[in-house]
């Protein structure tokens, strides 16, 4: 008999940035599944006050944040309570360093998670990171902040959660490659010649995962996988040559390791973001539940296909940004955010989304990214350049 593993203090106290988005909604389900183990102490949303109000009533957090003064007024008028309501960037930061929170769940979209993510790590928090752009922009700064503040990063992105769990069981020098699975998005079987005419509605239909609009478009272009290659590099310290993507339409295998002796170790299960969110809350424990169990035979047939690099240039570009180093990944990601916004506003064609990032990289190169200021400067330059090119 082995002795019981060290028990972590329960409940874990969680502050959620992006509570009304898809990650936030999944996190709330985990909290409902484990009312004795998860206490939500902070809730933040941008403008969706109507969705935030019932969450505040249900979980009674000690701090709330919204995007604007208008949203704050609306929330205050509805709640009529003394709960502190912060706004804007300062509000996100307040949630990230909330003294009553052990875990900060970063479920916001895009670069906006950068400063609060660093603040959480500097404050010694566990950062449950679902938002990949900050890691792509400033991966080295995130590691430095965790080391300086005593915080830790537990990835929530399903692929990285899988890799985090797989890597824990292997010696570093036993691992040959990290392999990220990609569903291939809605256009996996669409010939390149037909991608020209792709509309916003078609691109917003993801075959297996339900997610917000930005990440759904990124899944269609495989830009999401490209950003995940960069994210994996910074999270786990593997080089561009040691990280690959494979098309796996069923999204049942969440990622794999290839070992030096040619074995594949895979993480598979239900395609539901509650699973990695729960793991980020429970790590190093695993909380007992039947809620996420699936009989193996219900997982169905599993396929693995090589990615078509002509159709999906984002993967090779991601590796190129890692080889270039500095702020190249940040520039690539920022240009993509602008390109996706433009596509969603019918101002850019689908096939021009990823090439726009390449053009901006050509123009700006790989400036240094050793300080937050340098990263933000590169980010701003990339957005400006991208907007000018549209
Ligand atoms: Mg993912």
- Greatest CA separation found in the chain? 66
pLDDT at 197 over 70: yes
Query: What percentage of the chain has pLDDT greater than the value 70?
Result: 96
Write the burial class of residue 318 (CB in 10 Å: 0-12 exposed, 13-18 middle, 19+ buried). buried
Q: What's the 279 CA to ligand 1 centre distance in angstroms?
A: 15
Q: How far is the CA of 260 from the centre of ligand 1 (A)?
A: 25
- As a whole number of angstroms, the distance between CA 267 and CA 254 comes to 6
Q: Is the pLDDT of residue 330 over 60?
A: yes
Cα 286 to ligand 1 centre (Å) = 21
pLDDT of residue 281: 98
Residue 6 in this model has a pLDDT that exceeds 70:
no
Tell how far the Cα of 96 is from the centroid of ligand 1, in angstroms. 22
Q: Rounded to the nearest whole angstrom, what is the distance from the C-alpha of residue 208 to the centroid of ligand 1?
A: 12
Tell me what pLDDT residue 209 has.
64
Q: pLDDT tens-digit profile of 138-192?
A: 999 999 999 999 999 999 999 999 999 999 989 999 999 999 999 998 889 999 8
pLDDT for position 337: 93
Chain segment 342-376, per-residue pLDDT in tens: 999 999 999 999 999 999 999 999 999 999 999 99
Locate tokens 């752009």: which residue? 133
Q: Which two tokens stand for residue 144?
A: 């430095």
Q: How far is the CA of 174 from the centre of ligand 1 (A)?
A: 24
Burial string for 93-107 (b: 16+ CB within 10 Å, else e) reads: bbbbbbeebbbbbbb
> Mean of the per-residue pLDDT values for the chain?
94
Cα of 136 to ligand 1 centre, how many Å? 13
Ligand 1 center to 236 CA (angstroms): 15
- Residue 3 alpha carbon to ligand 1 centre in Å: 35
Q: What percentage of the chain reaches a pLDDT higher than 90?
A: 86
Cα-to-centroid distance, 228 and ligand 1 (Å): 7
pLDDT exceeds cutoff 60 at 4: no
Provide the pLDDT confidence category of residue 210 given band limits of 50, 70 and 90. low
**Rounded to the nearest whole angstrom, what is the distance from the C-alpha of residue 339 to the centroid of ligand 1?**
20
> What is the reported pLDDT for 160?
98
Report how far ligand 1's centroid is from the alpha carbon of 283 (Å). Answer: 19
Q: Quick one: CA torsion of 111, 116, 117, 123, rounded to 10 degrees?
A: 170
Q: What is the pLDDT of residue 24?
A: 97
Local structure of 181: helix, strand or coil = strand
Q: What is the mean pLDDT of residues 257-273?
A: 97
Cα-to-centroid distance, 73 and ligand 1 (Å): 35
Instruction: List, in order, residues 6 or more apart from 200 with CB less than 8 Å away.
Output: 343, 344, 346
- Give the pair of three-digit tokens for residue 333: 């990601």
Least confident of 26-35, 192-201, 290-299: 192-201
Beta strands 12-17; 264-268: pairing state: unpaired
251 C-alpha to center of ligand 1: Å? 10
Q: How many whole angstroms from 158 Cα to the centroid of ligand 1?
A: 5
Confidence class for position 208, pLDDT limits 50, 70, 90: low
Q: Where are the alpha helices (DSSP H) in the chain?
A: 22-33, 49-59, 69-79, 88-96, 114-122, 133-149, 158-167, 200-203, 213-221, 223-236, 274-282, 314-324, 328-344, 353-364, 372-389
pTM: 0.92
CA of 291 to the centre of ligand 1 (A): 21
- For ligand 1, the distance from its centroid to the CA atom of residue 78, given in whole angstroms, is 36
Compute, in angstroms, the gap from residue 159 CA to the centroid of ligand 1.
5
Q: How many CB atoms lie within 10 A of CB 92?
A: 25
Distance CA 331, CA 361 (A): 7
pLDDT at 9 over 80: no
In degrees, rounded to 5, the angle at the alpha carbon of residue 285 between the alpha carbons of residues 298 and 215 is 55
Q: What separation in Å is there between the alpha carbon of 157 and the centre of ligand 1?
A: 5
Lowest mean pLDDT among 115-129, 206-220, 305-319: 206-220
Distance 160 CA to ligand 1 centre (A): 7
pLDDT at 212: 76
Q: What is the mean pLDDT of residues 217-246?
A: 96
Contact 87, 67 (CB under 8 A): yes
The pLDDT, as a whole number, for residue 229 is 98
Centre of ligand 1 to C-alpha 181, Å, is 9
Cα–Cα separations (whole angstroms), residue 51 to 151, 167, 287: 30, 37, 28
pLDDT one-digit tens code per residue, 267-297: 999 999 999 999 999 999 999 999 999 999 9
């Amino acid at each position: 008999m082995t002795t019981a593993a060290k028990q972590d203090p329960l409940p874990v106290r969680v502050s959620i940035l992006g509570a009304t988005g898809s990650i936030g909604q999944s996190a709330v389900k985990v909290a409902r599944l484990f009312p004795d183990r998860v206490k939500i102490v902070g809730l933040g949303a941008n403008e969706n006050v109507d969705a935030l109000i019932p969450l505040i009533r249900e979980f009674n957090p000690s701090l709330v944040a919204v995007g604007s003064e208008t949203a704050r007024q609306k929330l205050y008028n509805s709640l009529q309570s003394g709960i502190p309501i912060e706004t804007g960037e300062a509000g996100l930061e307040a949630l990230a360093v909330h003294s009553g929170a052990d875990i900060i769940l970063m479920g916001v979209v895009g670069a906006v998670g950068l400063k609060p993510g660093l603040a959480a790590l500097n404050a010694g928090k566990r950062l449950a990171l679902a938002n990949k752009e900050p890691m792509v922009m400033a991966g080295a700064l995130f590691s430095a902040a965790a080391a300086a503040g005593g915080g830790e990063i537990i990835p929530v992105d399903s692929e990285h959660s899988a890799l985090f769990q797989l890597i824990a069981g292997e010696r570093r020098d036993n691992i040959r490659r990290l392999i990220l699975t990609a569903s291939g998005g809605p256009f996996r079987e669409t010939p390149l010649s037909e991608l020209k005419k792709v509309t916003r509605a078609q691109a917003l239909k993801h075959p297996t995962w339900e997610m917000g609009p930005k990440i759904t478009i990124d899944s269609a272009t495989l830009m999401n996988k490209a950003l995940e290659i960069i994210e994996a590099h910074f999270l786990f310290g593997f080089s561009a040559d040691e990280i690959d993507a494979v098309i796996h339409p069923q999204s049942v295998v969440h990622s794999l390791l290839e070992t030096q002796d040619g074995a594949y170790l895979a993480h598979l299960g239900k395609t539901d973001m509650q699973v990695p969110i729960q793991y980020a809350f429970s790590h190093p424990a695993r909380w007992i539940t039947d809620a996420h169990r699936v009989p193996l035979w219900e997982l169905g047939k599993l396929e693995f296909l090589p990615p078509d690099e002509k159709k999906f240039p984002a993967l090779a570009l991601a590796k190129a940004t890692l080889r270039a180093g500095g702020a190249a990944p940040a520039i690539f990601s920022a240009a993509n955010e602008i390109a996706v916004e433009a596509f969603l506003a019918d101002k850019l064609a689908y096939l021009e989304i990823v090439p726009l990032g390449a053009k901006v990289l050509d123009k700006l190169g790989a400036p240094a990214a050793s300080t937050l200021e340098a990263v933000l400067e590169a980010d701003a330059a990339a957005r400006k350049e991208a907007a000018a090119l549209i």
